[in-house]
Amino acid sequence: MPQKIKASVAYGIGKGFAQPEEIIIDDPIGAEVLVDVQASGLCHSDLHLVEDDDQFFPFPAVIGHEVAGIVEAVGPEVQGIKVGDHVIASLEQVCGHCANCLNGHPQSCTQQQECVRKPGEKPRLSFPDGRPITQAFGTGGFAEKALIHENQLAVVNNEVPWDQAACIGCATITGAGAAINSAHIRPGQTVAVVGTGGIGLNIISGARICGAKKIIAIDVFDNKLEFAKKFGATDVINSSKEDAVAKVRELTDGGVDASFEAIGLPGTMKQCWDMLAVDGNAYCIGLAKPDATVELEINPADFLVHQRGFKGVWMGSTNIKYDIPMYADMAVDGRLNMHDIVTQHINLSQIDEAYVQLKKGEVIRSVITEF
């Protein structure tokens, strides 16, 4: 039967994250899985959604999409996931049968609505008086428990620590996935990463795993740049102190093979374009404000001859059922540095405080482990 749980509810743009309150979570139906949340990471995108952007879902909502936990119950249509399994969630909603899912591009699924309840069905989350609460992206991880479609969950080994597991569900698949799956970085290539938060550091890790010979980290915080060296950065640039594009060109004799923007700012997106070598590609990963635009000055002849590309990347082109268990195994055996991603553990009442620290560059990832 439906349960009472504690959750932090977001009530609208500019209102932050409320202190934990009691809400109701329904029983799993269909292909839904009830997850006892053990850890929930604070991704910058969730802050963006409550500060600047209401285009994705209506408020009030339970946000949080970096979720790891133990399966408590499953719906009657669930296959391949059982009670007691350790799982990691993703905001990537996948139907599994549309043309994009079948041709190996599940991140571009055209039937994502199949992962949430249909209009007219009882909501997954509600207030005690029955008013519905949006479960953002079908995850709603800032809560003690989450009701998630099986296609948004991957079963992982039981050894990966919960805090690291939570971060794998977004920071890793988005960052490392951008380098491995989207850019297909090859041994010996040169890479620049603009923004060294959780996603940026995972891009660096992914580029290192792929064998990039030079990985340049760019940020405005010296402490974060120094930290980036733990993940494989070979060079660092503080863009508040020197021209990042000029320095990248100097370090690489003309530009990088691949640049990654992990912030979501038009200015840094343009920098990624400007620092490319011939035949280089810029990958934009950061979530920008809804009214942001990027203007590139492109000479058609140069564009043809130089063969540069400028591309958006969604969720690291990830197949969550395959990639998430792989990253979890790599974290356990030490090939993927997840230990240093997590800066601090917090409780459910400290979300706003932790996001202030994130904006100041004081932390990389805060993870809720006390509910």
Is there a contact between 166 and 66 (Cβ–Cβ < 8 Å)? yes
State the pLDDT at residue 298.
Answer: 82
pTM above 0.75, yes or no: yes
Strands 61-62 and 132-135: parallel
DSSP 4-67: EEEEPPB-STT---PPPEEEEEPPP-TTEEEEEEEEEE--HHHHHHHHT--SS-PSSEE---EE
18-42 tens-digit pLDDT? 899 999 999 999 999 999 999 999 9
DSSP 114-150: GGSPPTTSPPSEE-TTS-EEEEGGGT--SBSEEEEEG
- 301 burial type by CB count under 10 A (0-12 exposed, 13-18 middle, 19+ buried): exposed
54-101 tens-digit pLDDT? 667 889 999 999 999 999 999 999 999 999 999 999 999 999 999 999
175-314: CATH class: alpha beta
Cα→Cα distances 59→11, 63, 145, 167, Å:
6, 10, 19, 25
State the pLDDT at residue 296.
Answer: 85
Low-confidence residues of the chain: pLDDT under 70:
53-55
State the pLDDT at residue 54.
Answer: 65
Helix (H, G, I), strand (E, B) or coil at 85: coil
d(CA 230, CA 204): 10
Beta-ladder partners of 125:
25, 133
State the pLDDT at residue 290.
Answer: 78
State the pLDDT at residue 301.
Answer: 79
Domain with CATH 3.40.50.720 in the chain: 175-314
State the pLDDT at residue 287.
Answer: 82
CATH architecture of the domain 3-155+341-370 equals Alpha-Beta Complex (3.90)
State the pLDDT at residue 97.
Answer: 93
